[in-house]
Amino acid sequence: ALLQREGAADANVCGLAYGRWAADGGGSRRLRGYGPGATKILHKLASCAVHGRNSGRLVFEDGSYGNGCLMRVAPLAIAYRNAPLDVLRRGVHEATIPTHDNAEALACTTVYTWLCVQLLNGAADADGAAAVRGSS
């Protein structure tokens, strides 16, 4: 919904949305399972103590390389499914840096999002699909 409203991902808008989500309704229950670094960043984003473009390195000097940013893959893939790769890459970057401003996290999230786009657009090869079916 955020991407539909804004037209494209923006780190400051995404950061505020992530912070509001964390603060809205569930309190500490909503953040159950989140690490202390992510929790700290989300609280600061919720209180507007920091902007999304500057929050991803609050806890770790080189940013978080945790896998929490991968939770954004499916919505990003849907939003950018028809976008050129450079536009998708920029959108993933903007959506990821508020909590995971780390080169490895950004690269991984970009690749996973691109792979999901390929699946959404029907580009999965038959061998890959057969392997997935065979593993269930």
pLDDT score of 135 more than 50: no
Per-residue pLDDT tens for 84-118? 999 999 999 999 999 999 999 999 999 999 999 99
Q: Which amino acid is residue 30, in one-letter code?
A: R
Dihedral (Cα; 90, 91, 94, 98), 10-degree rounding: -140
Residues 24-42 as b or e (16 or more Cβ within 10 Å = b)? eeeeeeebeebeebbeebb
| Cα separations in angstroms, 76 against 18, 81, 99, 110, 134 | 14, 8, 15, 9, 28
Q: What does DSSP assign to residue 7?
A: S
User: Residue 25: pLDDT band by 50, 70, 90 thresholds?
Assistant: low
- What pLDDT sits at residue 130? 52
User: Residue 72: pLDDT band by 50, 70, 90 thresholds?
Assistant: confident
Among 58, 14, 11, smallest CA distance to 36 is for: 58
Residue-averaged pLDDT of the chain: 83
